[in-house]
Structure 1
Amino acid sequence: MSYRELIFTVPAEIAEPLGDALLELGALSVTVEDAAAGGYDENPLYGEPGLSPEVQAWDRSAVTALFNPEIDHSGEANFIPELLASLKESDFHLAQPSEKIVEEQDWVRLTQSQFAPIQIGKRIWVVPSWHEKPTDPNAICLAVDPGLAFGTGSHPTTHLCLLWLEQNGDLENKSLLDYGCGSGILAIAAAKLGCNPVVGTDIDPQAMVAARSNAEINHTLIQFILPNEDAPELAADTKYDIVMANILANPLQVLAPALVNKMRVGGRIVLSGVLARQADEVIATYSQWLKLSVWQESEGWVCLHGELLSAISNEQSNPSHIESIATPQKKRLKLVLLSLFFLVLLVFAEHLSRNSLLPTLATRIDGTSSPIAVSAFSLLQKTDEILCRSLRCINRSVSDFTAWKINSASLAQESSGEPLKIPANQSKLQVEIQNRLAIPVLFPYLELTLTDAEESEIKTIQFSPQEWLPISWQDSHPLFLLRGAPSGESIHSELAFVMPQNTAGYRVRIFYSH
């Protein structure tokens, strides 16, 4: 038996509603993926608590629907036209989807083939239950199958934590708390390396089920507890030699007081799930209690670790603590004076290097820049304006393709505006792009790539700024090639071209010609 897979490329705002509509029309399953996955403009979505994206889709989303010809007549020649007509009645005006035939396979075996044993460091092996264990007598094997909870050892963050456990050999009879334990893989590894007692906690009940099952399979004694169970292992006065948390940067900062409070004096903390660019922010959050540092980095992720050198208490009321209070005050005064000195230097440095400094520090207007960064850059711009009124400045726009966002892109017939058809005709590309930087940016080139049903490239068309910018916009901005697009400027353009007869899909990208 074979299945028929249809792939629609659509804007983010209709990806989820389209998926629901396809399921109602008989699709066995629907998946939504980034249409630019694997390309230079791939757009990762991070769903950290408190930072979840408003739209669970990408600017250009590939919505894939799977149909079974034996039960839904999807093998018939008129299936796609009838499907598009049904979707059009629901106000979905879609181009012809690309398609492929998916042959019946042993899906269990195919899935299992994707998970081979993973060696971590010198001794640790993560071995799925369907694989043979390594013959090395010194190997520490973790029997963990992919399941409902995060943690199979394949992700760099889990890998880093396991490596930390292996390389910090003095773990015998050390107590360990695995905060956000997921599958329990870190707790299990710690127990096998000598930690005792070992406790794991997670807010997901499914994770507790998976973790307890994995602990039993691995013959380890570990307490896995939900935070709301009021267990003594999570009581305020229960401290641990090692606190390990492999979650994400935002919750790690929110949970900082709670995690530090679980450490005993001289205890160590290990944090992962942090991108390299987020490390300084997490380190700063914990600096009021202890000093964190980057232990190792892997594939853009880092593992942070630190040691609690003194107890957390209200020592300010103790007379013996007066000297330790005065010292920070002196340090703050020195810091203020040094800050003023460097501020003067920065003012003159900014003026001398403004054409490279401003583009480097420019924030985005789409809400992705932090409020602190936006305020700081706004102050820098005001300072720059004041200096330029007193001193002579030369403004140069910057070339930065990351500043541009393709808000929408679609193909239609030039004559009637109907969706993309297979016969060759005069067609048009409708595209809207926006400058997201807080400074002007030079206009890029646009590139339209047309593909066939096998996603093979048929034709590539490039448009210079003079070709794709609307004539009316060019007339009202005669110096557009020198000054570029103002901050936040969003431009809609319609570009005519002849479409090859076998066109089934397309890609749009921006680039700068050197």
Structure 2
Amino acid sequence: MKTSSLWQVFIPLRKGQEEAVQDWLEDFFQTPACAYTAADSDAASVSVYLSEKPAPSTLAELRERLRHLPTLVRHARQGAGDVLVKRLTARDWVKAWQRNIRPIRIGKALLIRPTWDTTPPRPGQQLIVLDPGLSFGTGHHPTTHYCLQELVRLSRRGTATFLDLGTGSGLLAIAAARLGYRRITALDNDPEAVRVARANARANGVGRQIRFFQADVASYTLPRHPAFDVVAANLTDELLVQHAARIAGCAASRGHLVLAGILTERFPAVQKTYADLGLQLLRRRDRGEWTGATFGVP
């Protein structure tokens, strides 16, 4: 049987650059990117895999844009930001791609792994099996990772309720179900994301515990039942500011609002917006160029 070829576009980096460049490269090619970080050095890289060799004009544009990418400009080193192209067989590509997807542990509470990984959960650890795909949210990105950590920290088995604004792959909602949140609602404005999220929830045995539906944060209104104890909004900082009153209104009194997807340089504007609504900043975490924050609702 003939094996088709794929093309790897490979960008060597320094450790700490890969997360921001991964997001940027995904936007450029409109296809998922893989990040790799060496355990024994400061080397890292980001790659995309394409069915056709990129045109010279595309590579020229990519190199030009990379020269001005803030992440690389601020952390420049020799070789960082080079663009390399390599031809791979499909079999080689699958192995390389899967090798870069690592299981994720969120403390002692959660283990998130792809279907091809056999890492066993530790005693008391809840297992989530989720393959990377087009929908955002596998737990590797620092914004999703922060939300997962906060879900674990804020969980009160059998009592807490949860709303996921911009569910993507459904990971946060699935994690909430695994952690014992009792009423879980998740929405996304992308119908394909909602379809994938439902399928992921069913595959993890929690499909009946989560209400998924398509909606936009700009038009979403609370149903008749009470607001939620924990609300996660892993969106862009522009959306978090623009729709702050609507987002904050989803959280119950004395509840918690977990915000992510915020560029660190934009966090002061986000913080001020929610402080003006009477919310108190309780926790903040910066990782690379990204900030996650948890606010308390009076």
Aligned to 1:223: 211
CA contact (8 A) 1:147 1:210 kept: no
What are the residue-to-residue correspondences of 1:24-423 with 2, within 5 Å? 28-30=52-54, 32=58, 34-35=62-63, 41-43=68-70, 102-106=87-91, 107-220=93-206, 221-227=209-215, 234-235=222-223, 238-289=226-277, 290-309=279-298
SS of residue matched to 1:30: coil
Q: How many corresponding residue pairs?
A: 238
Task: Return closer, same or farther for 1:284/1:147 CA change in 2, 3 Å cut-off.
Answer: same
SS of residue matched to 1:287: helix
SS of residue matched to 2:94: helix
CA contact (8 A) 2:5 2:90 kept: no
Task: Return closer, same or farther for 1:175/1:103 CA change in 2, 3 Å cut-off.
Answer: closer
* Offset of residue 38 of structure 1: 7.7
Task: Return closer, same or farther for 1:128/1:233 CA change in 2, 3 Å cut-off.
Answer: farther
Q: What is the letter of the counterpart of residue 216 of structure 1?
A: R
Aligned to 1:367: none
CA contact (8 A) 2:169 2:200 kept: yes
SS of residue matched to 1:219: coil
CA contact (8 A) 2:108 2:124 kept: no
Q: Distance in 2 between matches of 1:119 and 1:278?
A: 29
Q: What is the letter of the counterpart of residue 299 of structure 1?
A: G
SS of residue matched to 2:276: coil
Q: Distance in 2 between matches of 1:171 and 1:4?
A: 46
Q: Which has the higher contact order (CA 8 A, sep 6+)?
A: 2
Q: Distance in 2 between matches of 1:157 and 1:302?
A: 7
Q: What is the letter of the counterpart of residue 140 of structure 2?
A: S
Q: What is the letter of the counterpart of residue 296 of structure 1?
A: R
* Offset of residue 169 of structure 1: 4.1
Task: Return closer, same or farther for 1:101/1:215 CA change in 2, 3 Å cut-off.
Answer: closer
- C-alpha RMSD of matched pairs (Å): 3.3
**TM-score, normalised relative to structure 2:** 0.70
Q: Distance in 2 between matches of 1:264 and 1:4?
A: 50
Could you list the runs of 5+ residues in structure 2 that have no partner in the other structure? 10-27, 29-50, 73-80
SS of residue matched to 2:147: helix
